[in-house]
């Protein structure tokens, strides 16, 4: 079974249903980060060059099956038109007579963008009839929505059954290539940097990577959950109690291997989570009562930079502290800058981790930035995703 890619297919005169992930942040009608749109441009341009017309479909936000005007893709249509320097036709509904009429009228080189797929509940339900209706808008199917490939949604999964030709675009290929380099023979030493929150969601990924990595360093709620698992003091730190048993198992597994595992040597602790909180660095790896750990401390930063400098491969998932608050962002910023400066193959995955790398201004200096947080974690846990498997033939 081979993954079908756009290079394998013929698109001359074809109408292509292109599923993308244009789930971009929008504030007051303005797109604040268009990375996900620019990431799909190579595929869009390739298909247009090959003589296709495009029906572009995406979701945006979580409208839960209802039409929510703030989650309309209209601002995305405008940005895409600007980026391509070309008109993009719009259909107010992703299925129905208007979409059908506009799709069937497309000439080679023309683009139709459909309104938010998730305005229909059937999208997330993976509804077969809905998938069939979508499939009727085009002849061929291309998926470049890496960030949604872990979901068996109608436009990702069920739609394939109704299409003669189905393939993935360049973004998915790039993501698979970078993540596979972590899973298959990574250059050693391989350093895994774990932080952020949502510890339970990451246990599967960590467990699968245990056999491949040489060093793990931790920060954020992740670190406090491991510190708790060691029965050390965590004061008023945010921990994930449900994840403590799994953290204990991971520590046990690590102790059986020749590998390094670090929780922070010291912490920045604060009396509350606020820019004007009282805060200072501890002199040890535990957190006293009534204090909240908000960042890794200076000794931890030094130790972690040393780990980064020794590594040849790095996967970084999630910030070292509450980096959104300036006084608590140092650990995360220093880690980002150290990765950028190191001679290393580096992959960054996770929405907030990517935001942190951008905040540090080093996004061009890392090897790969994943466009899908949840999808990249699931790929590293299972080695593939449902939306990728259906594109194999």
Rank residues 168 and 222 by Cβ distance to ligand ADP and give the closer one.
Answer: 222
Coil, helix or strand at residue 175: helix
- Per rule CB under 6 A, is residue 264 in the interface with ligand ADP? no
Give the dihedral of Cα atoms 345, 350, 353, 355; nearest 10 deg: 120
285 is catalytic: no
- Cα separation, 56 vs 77, whole angstroms: 10
351 is catalytic: yes
- Per rule CB under 6 A, is residue 331 in the interface with ligand ADP? no
Coil, helix or strand at residue 7: helix
Q: Taking the complex as a whole, how short is the minimal distance between the CB of residue 197 and ligand ADP, in angstroms?
A: 4
- Cα separation, 320 vs 174, whole angstroms: 27
Q: How many residues bind ligand ADP (CB under 6 A)?
A: 19
- Cα separation, 349 vs 353, whole angstroms: 6
Rank residues 44 and 197 by Cβ distance to ligand ADP and give the closer one.
Answer: 197
- Options 136, 189, 351, 386; binder of Mg ion; rule CB under 5 A: 351
- Per rule CB under 6 A, is residue 372 in the interface with ligand ADP? no
Cα distance from N-terminal residue to C-terminal residue, the chain: 5
Local structure of residue 323 (DSSP, 8 states)? T
Q: Is the CB of residue 100 less than 8 Å from the CB of residue 136?
A: yes
- Per rule CB under 5 A, is residue 115 in the interface with Mg ion? no
64 is catalytic: no
Give the interface segment with ligand ADP, choosing from 37-45, 164-172, 244-252, 349-357 (CB under 6 A).
349-357
Span 270-309, contacts to ligand ADP by CB under 6 A: 293-294
Task: Please pick, among 126, 219, 372, 374, the residue that the annotation labels catalytic.
Answer: 374
Q: Taking the complex as a whole, how short is the minimal distance between the CB of residue 351 and Mg ion, in angstroms?
A: 4
- Per rule CB under 6 A, is residue 197 in the interface with ligand ADP? yes
36 is catalytic: yes
Q: Is the CB of residue 259 less than 8 Å from the CB of residue 215?
A: yes
Q: Which residues pair with 56 in a beta bridge?
A: 18, 113
- Per rule CB under 5 A, is residue 352 in the interface with Mg ion? yes
Task: Please pick, among 198, 202, 228, 330, the residue that the annotation labels catalytic.
Answer: 198
Q: How far is CA 84 from CA 25, 52, 63, 114, 178, in A?
A: 20, 15, 28, 17, 27
Rank residues 88 and 369 by Cβ distance to ligand ADP and give the closer one.
Answer: 369
Helix (H), strand (E) at residue 166: strand 165-168
Rank residues 83 and 200 by Cβ distance to ligand ADP and give the closer one.
Answer: 200
Rank residues 285 and 293 by Cβ distance to ligand ADP and give the closer one.
Answer: 293
Query: Residue 207, class by beta-carbon neighbours within 10 Å (0-12 exposed, 13-18 middle, 19+ buried)?
Result: middle
Residues with a known catalytic role: 36, 198, 351, 374
Which residues sit at the interface with ligand ADP, rule CB under 6 A? 196-198, 220-221, 238, 293-294, 317-319, 321-322, 324, 350-353, 373
Which residues sit at the interface with Mg ion, rule CB under 5 A? 351-352
């Amino acid at each position: 079974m081979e993954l079908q890619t756009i290079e394998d297919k013929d698109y001359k005169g074809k109408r292509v249903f292109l599923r993308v992930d244009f789930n971009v942040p929008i504030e007051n009608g303005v797109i604040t980060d268009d990375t996900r749109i620019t990431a799909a441009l190579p595929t869009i341009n390739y298909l247009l060059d090959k003589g296709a017309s495009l029906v572009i479909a995406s979701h945006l936000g979580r409208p839960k099956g209802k039409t929510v005007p703030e989650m309309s893709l209209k601002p995305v249509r405008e940005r895409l038109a600007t980026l391509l320097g070309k008109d993009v036709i719009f259909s107010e509904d992703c299925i129905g007579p208007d979409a059908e009429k506009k799709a069937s009228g497309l000439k080679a080189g023309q683009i139709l963008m459909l309104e938010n797929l998730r305005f229909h509940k059937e999208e997330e339900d993976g509804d077969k009839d809905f998938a069939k209706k979508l499939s009727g808008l085009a002849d061929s199917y291309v998926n470049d929505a890496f960030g949604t490939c872990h979901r068996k949604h109608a436009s990702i999964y069920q739609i394939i059954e109704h299409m003669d030709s189905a393939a993935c675009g360049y973004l998915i290929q790039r993501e698979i290539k970078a993540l596979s380099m972590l899973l298959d023979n990574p250059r050693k030493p391989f350093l895994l940097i774990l932080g952020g929150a949502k510890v339970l969601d990451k246990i599967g990924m960590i467990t699968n990577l245990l056999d491949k990595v040489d060093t793990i360093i931790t920060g954020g709620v992740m670190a406090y959950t491991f510190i708790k698992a060691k029965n050390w003091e965590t004061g008023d730190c945010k921990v994930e109690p449900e994840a403590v048993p799994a953290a204990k198992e991971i520590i046990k597994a690590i102790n059986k291997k020749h590998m390094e595992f670090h929780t922070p040597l010291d912490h920045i602790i604060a009396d509350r989570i606020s820019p004007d909180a009282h805060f200072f660095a501890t002199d040890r790896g535990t957190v006293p009562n009534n204090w909240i750990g908000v960042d890794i401390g200076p000794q931890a930063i030094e130790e972690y930079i040393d780990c980064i400098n020794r590594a040849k491969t790095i996967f970084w998932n999630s910030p070292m502290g509450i980096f959104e608050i300036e006084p608590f962002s140092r650990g995360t910023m220093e880690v980002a800058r150290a990765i950028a400066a190191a001679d290393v193959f580096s992959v960054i995955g996770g929405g907030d981790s990517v935001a942190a790398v951008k905040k540090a201004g080093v996004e061009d200096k890392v090897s790969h930035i994943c466009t899908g947080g949840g999808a990249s974690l699931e790929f590293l846990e299972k080695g593939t995703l449902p939306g990728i498997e259906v594109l194999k033939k």
